[in-house]
């Protein structure tokens, strides 16, 4: 399906999370088809895969560069996470929740050689191991993989995977097919967008959608509510795929 009115790309200061097991919806030969699509990092289960383009974050272009990202607008269940580059194109990703009293541990400081919690000054190395202070256990770590050809590092985070649970053809015209997509969401501090790709090897682009069956498809994001959400996308053509993406952004 070719997207009907794709929205503009996100700014370079945002990144897109694609999931380890997404459901793609497709119209092939005029018939609806759904199937599961594996992402780059085969995390499995309920592990979400965050794809970070190194070129968008200059600090990560050099060894010992460190950048922090947040999942939502408030810190709660999901703390920000830190990605730090070490020699040999190895990337370390850790949860910033300090294991002492839940402060947000800062990014890696190459001058000092550690990450530090501002509350009581516990210190950790770039892999999340405790170096000193009142913290008694290491930071939670996330699996990573790096593709040097694409310049993308993937980070697998448990508990945030999503998938399109149901897909229905809601209406058709001579030139447009409207699909009803339903997917589970987290709370209202999380934001979701819809992506389209003509083939599974194409780069996905963001598309607009409606939040009601008869509404105009002019929205580009929707907040979670802890329940399944419905969106309605318009498409033309005979082939293509839609997926849902959870947005994360730099933390400061």
Look up residue 70 and give its two tokens: 């947040």
User: Which pLDDT does position 150 carry in this prediction?
Assistant: 83
Could you please state the CATH topology (level 3) that the domain comprising 48-158 is classified under. Answer: Rieske Iron-sulfur Protein (2.102.10)
Low-confidence ranges of the chain (pLDDT < 50): 1-44
- For residues 174 and 207, what is the distance between their CA atoms, to the nearest angstrom? 21
Residues of the chain with CATH 2.102.10.10: 48-158
DSSP run (H or E) holding 153: strand 152-158
Rounded to whole angstroms, the Cα distance separating 126 from 112 reads 11
The CA distance from 196 to 164, in Å, is 13
Per DSSP, the residues of 65-98 read: -EEEEESSSS-SSS--EEEEEETTTEEEEEE-B-
pLDDT at position 72 is 67
Please tell me the predicted confidence (pLDDT) of residue 133. Answer: 94
CA dist., res. 237 & res. 43, Å (int): 33
pLDDT at 32: 38
């Amino acid at each position: 399906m070719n997207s009907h009115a794709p929205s503009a790309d996100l700014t370079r200061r945002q990144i897109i999370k694609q999931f380890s097991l997404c459901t793609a919806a497709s119209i092939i030969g005029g018939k609806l088809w759904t199937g599961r699509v594996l992402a780059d990092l085969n995390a499995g289960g309920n592990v979400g895969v965050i794809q970070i383009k190194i070129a968008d974050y200059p600090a990560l272009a050099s060894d010992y560069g460190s950048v922090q990202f947040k999942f939502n607008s408030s810190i709660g269940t999901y703390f920000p996470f830190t990605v730090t580059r070490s020699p040999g194109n190895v990337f370390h990703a850790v949860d910033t929740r300090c294991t002492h009293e839940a402060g947000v541990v800062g990014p890696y400081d190459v001058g000092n050689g550690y990450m530090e919690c501002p509350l009581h000054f516990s210190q950790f190395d770039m892999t999340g191991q405790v170096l000193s202070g009142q913290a008694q256990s290491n930071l939670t770590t996330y699996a990573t993989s790096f593709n040097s050809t694409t310049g993308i590092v993937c980070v697998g985070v448990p508990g945030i995977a999503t998938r399109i649970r149901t897909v229905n053809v809601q209406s058709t015209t001579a030139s447009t097919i409207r699909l009803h997509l339903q997917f589970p969401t987290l709370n209202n501090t999380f934001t979701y967008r819809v992506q389209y790709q003509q083939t599974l090897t194409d780069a996905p682009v963001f598309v607009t959608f409606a939040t009601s069956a008869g509404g105009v498809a002019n929205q580009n994001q929707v907040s979670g509510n802890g329940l399944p959400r419905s969106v309605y996308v318009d498409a033309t053509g005979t082939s293509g795929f839609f997926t849902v993406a959870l947005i994360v952004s730099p933390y400061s």
